[in-house]
């Protein structure tokens, strides 16, 4: 591991700084107009996806320099480290082997791969027993509903995949409960029947407060319906690395599927953590999902820097973040079934690259992972796109566009596509004040009013963005898309010199939460927190008084 890497010390970085100063004054449309081949050349394809980055604020020279930067950071070697099981998670002394979960085989990692294959088989058996109705509840009724109880990586991936692949959904409905707010579980259980419901407790650590609390309530719900302790075996499965804690909870070993410390939570949808999606869409579709990701892995490993899609996405992320100063990044899927994609990517990218020190612990004096946000088009157009077009914040974006729809409603889908392409073009071109004024005059405004209004209608354009398209959203293209973002995340972490696989920043809040809970549970305890927290605790205590 190159733990001493600093992005701003790489030889090409100084040149990129100069280029950024120069390019800031140029309109992206000029590149497209002058360079007739750009619209085709600034694209790359892999695993059923196409990336169009022709509307980024880079020219050919900058692109070459970014490729040079990737070479100087030894990105191809670092990618091999990831794929070959090197200790890329240096603070926890582990590899990050999510790619092994969708591999067709791996000689060097044969022992681990054998466990992966055995677990896949156990998943297949569990999923098929449920789908075929063989797995029955304590009254011998077939299971109709599965509730995945988990949070973070044990929720967001499976939830996204289940929703995104709704057209492939079979007869078992999968539900997701994550929040420790009792309303989440309560609302979910409202429509369910204990006799036909199965819970999957998904927790890599089996120590997560939200998941354990919800699982205990779910167990009480089953008991209240008359299930004995031995009946519960038919209604609870666990996915965890912590088999002891799961058995202590009352889930027998034969109902547990393993996880491994060499798979990070936010990279785990490909493991048994994805069991609920395999149940929702069936085993063959889940295999296709793994295969799509596997195809992206091979592309990452084999494609040269210049045509490597995850590397290119990552270089653009770093260019926009560090050279153009963009502190955030929007993800705009133009497909309702991908409405959860921004949520999933928030954990993937911000828990991975929201870091302030390098691998060697030294503080970084350049920015790392941007704030990621977004929502499905066209809803965003009627809310935050205003800021994208006219705000003072530079906000690079990824449009994600399946070119066809599963709905069969092609005429309406055309409108969705038209909106996506229109937003992309408006971000590119904007509208000058003179154009705005001409349009106002043609709409009957008088000269004075048109002059006054024109600055409000003017849009600078030149907002850099990518378009990631695919023929249609299938299990395979969804797998490729998620793997693409995983790899972008890793490549960017290498360029920034940070560890993408730990998340120490989430721990302090958990510790303080436990301390505060003791104060909420026992009102007689004096609170010795800071004055502001003490005041809120007192306010809460007063609110509980009858
Ligand atoms: O608190 C953060 C985190 O550890 C995430 O990284 C993880 O995905 C989530 O909590 C859930 O953890 P677990 O699967 O161990 O319950």
Long-range contacts for 123-130 (Cβ within 8 Å, ≥24 apart)?
Answer: 123/257, 123/272, 123/274, 123/275, 123/278, 123/283, 123/286, 124/278, 124/283, 126/237, 126/257, 126/275, 126/279, 127/275, 127/278, 127/279, 127/282, 127/283, 127/286, 128/283, 130/172, 130/198, 130/279
Q: Find the mean pLDDT for residues 329-351.
A: 98
Q: Whose CA is nearest to atom 2 of ligand 1?
A: 506
Q: Whose CA is nearest to atom 8 of ligand 1?
A: 153
- Is it the case that residue 31 has pLDDT exceeding 70? yes
User: How far does the centroid of ligand 1 lie from the alpha carbon of residue 354, in Å?
Assistant: 16
Catalytic residue annotation: 351, 382, 510
Q: Whose CA is nearest to atom 10 of ligand 1?
A: 152
- Is it the case that residue 294 has pLDDT exceeding 60? yes
User: How far does the centroid of ligand 1 lie from the alpha carbon of residue 500, in Å?
Assistant: 14
- Is it the case that residue 285 has pLDDT exceeding 80? yes
Q: Whose CA is nearest to atom 5 of ligand 1?
A: 152
Ligand 1, from 152, 345, 354: best to mutate by most atoms within 8 Å of Cβ?
152
- Is it the case that residue 40 has pLDDT exceeding 90? yes
| pLDDT more than 90, % of the chain | 97
User: How far does the centroid of ligand 1 lie from the alpha carbon of residue 308, in Å?
Assistant: 31
User: How far does the centroid of ligand 1 lie from the alpha carbon of residue 346, in Å?
Assistant: 14
pLDDT, tens digit, for every residue of 450-503? 999 999 999 999 999 999 999 999 999 999 999 999 999 999 999 999 999 999
Give the model's pLDDT for residue 4: 82
User: How far does the centroid of ligand 1 lie from the alpha carbon of residue 177, in Å?
Assistant: 14
Give the model's pLDDT for residue 105: 77
Q: Whose CA is nearest to atom 13 of ligand 1?
A: 203
pLDDT band at residue 107 under the 50/70/90 scheme:
confident
| pLDDT more than 70, % of the chain | 99
Q: Is 329 in the pocket of ligand 1 (CB under 6 A)?
A: no
Q: Is 151 in the pocket of ligand 1 (CB under 6 A)?
A: yes
Give the model's pLDDT for residue 1: 47
CA quadruple 523, 524, 527, 533: dihedral, nearest 10 = 20
Q: Is 403 in the pocket of ligand 1 (CB under 6 A)?
A: no
* Alpha-carbon radius of gyration of the chain: 25
- Name, in order, each residue with C-beta under 8 angstroms of 455's C-beta and a sequence gap of 6 or more: 433, 436
Q: Is 265 in the pocket of ligand 1 (CB under 6 A)?
A: yes
Q: Point out the ligand 1 atom lying closest to the alpha carbon of residue 507.
A: 1
Q: Is 381 in the pocket of ligand 1 (CB under 6 A)?
A: no
Under 8 Å between Cβ of 114 and 212: no
Q: Is 158 in the pocket of ligand 1 (CB under 6 A)?
A: no
Distances (CA, A) of 470 to 279, 475, 477: 25, 12, 7
Give the model's pLDDT for residue 545: 79
Q: Point out the ligand 1 atom lying closest to the alpha carbon of residue 510.
A: 1
- Is it the case that residue 429 has pLDDT exceeding 80? yes
- Is it the case that residue 110 has pLDDT exceeding 60? yes
Under 8 Å between Cβ of 296 and 479: yes
Q: Point out the ligand 1 atom lying closest to the alpha carbon of residue 156.
A: 8
User: How far does the centroid of ligand 1 lie from the alpha carbon of residue 77, in Å?
Assistant: 29
Distance CA(119)–CA(140), nearest Å, equals: 27
Q: Whose CA is nearest to atom 9 of ligand 1?
A: 152
User: How far does the centroid of ligand 1 lie from the alpha carbon of residue 151, in Å?
Assistant: 6
User: ipTM value of the model?
Assistant: 0.98
Q: Whose CA is nearest to atom 6 of ligand 1?
A: 265
Q: Is 378 in the pocket of ligand 1 (CB under 6 A)?
A: no
Helices and strands (H, E) in the chain, number of each type: 23, 11
User: How far does the centroid of ligand 1 lie from the alpha carbon of residue 152, in Å?
Assistant: 5
- pTM of the predicted protein model: 0.97
Mean pLDDT for the chain?
96
User: How far does the centroid of ligand 1 lie from the alpha carbon of residue 147, in Å?
Assistant: 18
CA quadruple 494, 498, 503, 504: dihedral, nearest 10 = 160
Ligand 1, from 150, 206, 208: best to mutate by most atoms within 8 Å of Cβ?
208
Distances (CA, A) of 371 to 124, 396, 427, 447, 504: 37, 11, 20, 43, 18
Q: Is 214 in the pocket of ligand 1 (CB under 6 A)?
A: no
Q: Residue 61: which H helix or E strand, with range?
A: helix 60-72
User: How far does the centroid of ligand 1 lie from the alpha carbon of residue 143, in Å?
Assistant: 28
Q: Point out the ligand 1 atom lying closest to the alpha carbon of residue 211.
A: 16
Q: Find the mean pLDDT for residues 426-454.
A: 97
Q: Find the mean pLDDT for residues 260-267.
A: 98
Give the model's pLDDT for residue 378: 96
Q: Find the mean pLDDT for residues 79-89.
A: 97
Under 8 Å between Cβ of 475 and 165: yes
Q: Is 157 in the pocket of ligand 1 (CB under 6 A)?
A: no
- Is it the case that residue 403 has pLDDT exceeding 80? yes
Give the model's pLDDT for residue 471: 98
Ligand 1, from 98, 150, 159, 205: best to mutate by most atoms within 8 Å of Cβ?
205
Give the model's pLDDT for residue 2: 58
Q: Whose CA is nearest to atom 1 of ligand 1?
A: 506
Q: Point out the ligand 1 atom lying closest to the alpha carbon of residue 266.
A: 8
Q: Which residue has the tokens 């449920």?
A: 130
- Is it the case that residue 106 has pLDDT exceeding 80? no
Give the model's pLDDT for residue 398: 98
- Is it the case that residue 3 has pLDDT exceeding 80? no
């Amino acid at each position: 591991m190159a733990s001493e890497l600093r992005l701003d010390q790489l030889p090409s970085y100084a040149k990129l700084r100069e280029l950024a100063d120069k390019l800031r004054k140029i309109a992206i449309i000029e590149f497209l107009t002058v360079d007739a081949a750009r619209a085709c050349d600034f694209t790359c394809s892999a695993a059923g996806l196409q990336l169009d980055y022709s509307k980024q604020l880079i020219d050919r020279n900058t692109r070459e320099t970014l490729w040079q930067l990737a070479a100087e950071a030894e990105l191809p070697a670092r990618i091999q480290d990831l794929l070959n099981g090197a200790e890329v998670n240096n603070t926890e002394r582990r590899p990050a082997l999510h790619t092994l979960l969708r591999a067709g085989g791996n000689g060097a990692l044969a022992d681990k791969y054998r466990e992966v294959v055995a677990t896949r088989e156990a998943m297949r058996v569990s999923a098929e027993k449920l789908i075929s109705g063989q797995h029955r509840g304590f009254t011998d009724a077939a299971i109709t509903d599965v509730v995945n109880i988990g949070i973070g990586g044990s929720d967001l991936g499976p939830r996204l995949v289940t929703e995104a692949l709704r057209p492939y959904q079979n007869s078992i409905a999968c539900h997701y409960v994550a929040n420790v707010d009792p309303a989440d579980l309560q609302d979910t259980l409202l429509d369910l029947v204990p006799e036909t419901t199965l819970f999957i407790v998904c927790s890599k650590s089996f120590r997560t407060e939200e998941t354990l609390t919800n699982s205990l309530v779910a167990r009480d719900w089953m008991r209240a319906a008359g299930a004995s302790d031995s009946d519960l075996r038919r209604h609870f499965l666990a996915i965890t690395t912590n088999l002891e804690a799961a058995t202590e909870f009352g889930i027998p070993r034969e109902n547990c599927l393993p996880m491994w410390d060499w798979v990070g939570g936010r990279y785990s949808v490909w493991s048994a953590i994805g069991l609920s999606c395999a149940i929702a869409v069936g085993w063959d579709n889940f295999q296709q999902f793994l295969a799509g990701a596997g195809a992206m892995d091979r592309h990452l490993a084999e494609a040269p820097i210049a045509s490597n899609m995850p590397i290119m996405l990552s270089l653009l992320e770093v260019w926009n973040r560090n050279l153009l100063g963009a502190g955030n990044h929007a993800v705009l899927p133009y497909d309702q079934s991908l409405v959860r994609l921004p949520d999933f990517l928030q954990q993937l990218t911000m828990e991975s690259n929201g870091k302030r020190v390098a691998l060697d612990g030294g503080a970084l004096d350049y920015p790392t992972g941007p704030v990621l946000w977004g929502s499905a088009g066209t809803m965003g157009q009627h809310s935050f796109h205003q800021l994208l077009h006219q705000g003072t914040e530079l906000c690079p974006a990824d449009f994600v566009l399946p070119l066809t729809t599963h709905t069969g409603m092609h005429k309406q889908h055309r409108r969705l596509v038209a909106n996506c392409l229109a937003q992309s073009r408006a971000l590119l071109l904007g509208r000058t004040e003179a154009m705005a004024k001409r349009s106002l005059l043609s709409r009957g405004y008088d000269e004075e009013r048109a002059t006054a209004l024109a600055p409000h209608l003017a849009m600078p354009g030149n907002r850099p963005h990518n378009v990631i398209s695919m023929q249609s959203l299938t299990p395979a293209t969804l797998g490729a898309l998620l793997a693409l973002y995983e790899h972008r995340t890793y490549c960017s972490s290498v360029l920034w010199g940070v560890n993408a696989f730990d998340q120490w920043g989430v721990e302090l809040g958990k510790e303080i939460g436990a301390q505060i809970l003791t104060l909420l549970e026992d009102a007689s305890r004096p609170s010795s927190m800071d004055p502001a927290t003490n005041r809120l605790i007192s306010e809460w205590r007063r609110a509980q008084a009858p």
